[in-house]
Amino acid sequence: MTHFLVTGASGLLGLNFSLAVDGKKHQVTGVDNRNPLRWINFKTLQANLIKPDVVERIIQEVKPDVILHCAANANVDDCETRPEDAEKVNGVLSGEIATAAKRYDVKMIHISTDAVFNGVTGNYTETDTPEPLSVYAKTKLHGEQAVLEANPNALVARVNFYGWSITGTRSLAEWFAYNLAEGKRVKGFTDILFCPMMVLDLVDTLIEAAEKDLKGIYHCVGAEAMSKYEFGVAIATQFGFDANLIDPASVHDGGLTASRSPNLTLSTEKLKTALGHPLPAFKDGLKKFHDQYRHGFPEMIKSLV
Ligand SMILES: NC(=O)c1ccc[n+]([C@@H]2O[C@H](COP(=O)([O-])OP(=O)(O)OC[C@H]3O[C@@H](n4cnc5c(N)ncnc54)[C@H](OP(=O)(O)O)[C@@H]3O)[C@@H](O)[C@H]2O)c1
């Protein structure tokens, strides 16, 4: 049994990972901050990780085998308006955790993003040179660099995922599902391409990567590339909602603060070779997302704070 210390345990990835993994094959201690969790089966600690000495104290207390570092400011437009705070969490903190993990001989899995690329060509491999466009993406790249400099044995997973969250607002998939369920018209960007992975598929992939002790940068995104518009239509179709409520639109008409890279499709060849099998199919992940909806998972997860 591996003991995971999960930062960002109240976030979309951290919470879904902790709920899915704890008590099965592995054990989890989660760190939350401004959204303390309750009614959960795994252990939690509440801490602002950017305060001095907090990371080291938690590692000494928990004695984990693996740190899964999900805590971040993942709100792209918020990062754009508060760049110094974004750098503290996404950049500096990641390096501090990697340094402490090395000192205490703890494996680290660092969660990064597809957004480190400029999105001009797409299908990026791990050897392509990042060129982040937004403050969020720049600070996430600084985080990756700080992690690998301090701790070359860390795994840096560049991800893009969707699932249900405590606020109902943390993933594009939730936004489509909730709006379409209410019959509201929404825009779907036709000029942003990405490879979304259902969060439970990402959880399984990260567990497998930890078991295989993968090191260095890996692209851990979904098996299929699509536009955000096509993603919305796929959700509408799966859930039985009216796909005509989704208007094809350009990101330039979206009123967003930060620049978005147009083509964030990533090659996952390196990961598939390391795992020795293909990644889960998009349609199967989407079905899991819908099954959770039908079984009341979104309400359950919102009741945990
Ligand atoms: N969502 C995506 O599709 C996507 C795409 C690419 C990459 N990523 C990356 O995936 C990772 C997880 O993202 P997510 O969507 O799960 O994020 P999220 O839902 O926004 O959650 C962020 C988490 O970080 C915690 N946190 C932030 N600042 C903290 C601090 N100073 N001390 C302690 N905890 C702090 C938050 O705790 P409280 O809420 O309790 O304060 C929350 O649990 C991030 O590294 C993100 O950059 C996400």
pLDDT given for residue 261 in this prediction: 87
List pLDDT tens digits, range 13-62: 999 999 999 998 899 999 999 999 998 999 999 999 999 999 999 999 99
User: Which atom of ligand 1 is found nearest the CA of 162?
Assistant: 3
**Counting every residue, how long is the chain?**
305
pLDDT given for residue 257 in this prediction: 84
- Quick check: CB of 165 below 6 Å from ligand 1? yes
pLDDT given for residue 255 in this prediction: 80
List pLDDT tens digits, range 202-225: 999 999 999 999 999 999 999 999
- Quick check: CB of 11 below 6 Å from ligand 1? yes
Instruction: Return the best residue to mutate from 15, 34, 116 for the ligand 1 pocket (most ligand atoms within 8 A of CB).
Output: 34
List pLDDT tens digits, range 157-204: 999 999 999 999 999 999 999 999 999 999 999 999 999 999 999 999
pTM of the model: 0.97
- Quick check: CB of 196 below 6 Å from ligand 1? no
Cα-based torsion angle of the residue sequence 235, 238, 240, 243 in order, rounded to the nearest 10 degrees = 40
- Quick check: CB of 188 below 6 Å from ligand 1? no
What's the mean pLDDT in 270-294? Answer: 98
What's the mean pLDDT in 120-149? Answer: 97
Are the C-beta atoms of 227 and 298 separated by less than 8 Å? no
Listed in sequence order, the residues at least 6 apart from 296 whose beta carbon sits closer than 8 Å to its beta carbon are none
Name the CATH topology of 3-170+194-224+266-282: Rossmann fold (3.40.50)
Pick the more confident residue, 261 or 3: 3
Pick the more confident residue, 236 or 262: 236
Which residue has the CA at smallest separation from atom 43 of ligand 1? 8
- Quick check: CB of 30 below 6 Å from ligand 1? no
- Quick check: CB of 197 below 6 Å from ligand 1? no
- Quick check: CB of 222 below 6 Å from ligand 1? no
> What are the residue ranges spanned by the domains of the chain?
3-170+194-224+266-282
Q: pLDDT-based confidence at 300, cuts 50/70/90?
A: very high
CA distances (Å), 84 to each of 94, 118, 230, in order? Answer: 15, 22, 35
C-alpha triplet 225, 113, 168: angle, nearest 5°: 85
Are the C-beta atoms of 304 and 37 separated by less than 8 Å? yes
